[in-house]
A and B are shown apart, each in its own frame.
Chain A
Amino acid sequence: MTIGLIAKTAGRLLVPFIFIFGFYIVVHGHLTPGGGFQGGAVIATGVALILVCYYYRECMEKFIPVTKFKLVESAGLLLFICTALAGLVVASGFLFNWLNATGGLFGNAVAYGINPGDLYTAGIIPILNFAIGIEVFGALSAVLMFMFAGLKEPTQEEEDAKAPVQNMHKGKIGGRK
């Protein structure tokens, strides 16, 4: 059986909020609990919701094809490695926090002790968080898409052909509308 119109519409309406919440967790990883792994997993649940509401074929046609997820995943890992290698080139070592407290990108100095938190601090940590976030998002979404590709999807013609037979013993004529 295909999924109903109400569930499809509700899923489509919920997905942007899930994406925004996951993006918030990723971006505020150096200030609040959370980070790249957790935020990426939250974003991937939005993709899972789309996949449950719309099946694989419709997802590939209407939304994002699976090759884009693989691209996003590789881009995340590459961004992580390139940021770490830039520490080797610019400063003293691999994964060195070369942007911290320099005044540049994400370079505001942080006050010691309890403070309200500034998003524009912590050097390369927000960049690494973002890289890990899109990497986990792409990886989990690609796994979901690959596994949903194996599900048997009913077509609308089979659905229409089956419905009168199912409802015959209930004394009703015709399928559900």
Chain B
Amino acid sequence: MKEAGSIFQPRFAIVLIVLVTLIFLLPAFGLTFGAPAATMTDQYYIDNSQTETGANNVVTAVVFDFRGFDTLGEATVLFIAVLGVAMIFRRLHK
């Protein structure tokens, strides 16, 4: 990848490293990432998952209801993995 404009040039890597370092240095300047603290959601799940989803199992309520998109993505990843395995082994399978 030697063409002009390719993102695999060394100067882009240097810019990326500087940006990531700046982001990790943000708390040192007194800036925080999210406006409500990240610890507010766990108590919400414990209190409200049973009434909102009807599932006794809070883990299942989170996995299949609050984070349903995550589960859909995992299932798709598994599907694509099987697709890759089928492509690799298709000559052995008759």
List chain A positions with a Cβ less than 8 A from chain B.
29-33, 35-37, 66, 70, 73-74, 76-77, 80-81, 84, 95, 97, 100-101, 108-110, 112-113, 115, 117, 121-125, 128-129, 132, 135-136, 139, 142-143, 145-147, 149-150
Binding site for A on B (CB under 8 A): 50-57, 59-61, 63-65, 68-69, 71-72, 74-76, 78-79, 81-82, 85-86, 88-90, 92-94
CA distance A74 to B76 in the complex (A): 10
Given contacts A29-B60, A35-B63, A125-B64, contact A136 B54 (CB under 8 A): no
User: Chain B interface secondary structure, helix, strand, loop or mixed?
Assistant: helix
Given contacts A73-B79, A146-B93, contact A128 B54 (CB under 8 A): no
Across-interface contacts of A70 in B (CB, < 8 A):
82, 86
Contact at A125–B93, with CB atoms within 8 Å? no
User: Which residue from B52, B60, B69, B78 sits with its C-beta under 8 Å from A30?
Assistant: B60
The answer to whether B55 and A147 have CB atoms under 8 Å apart is no
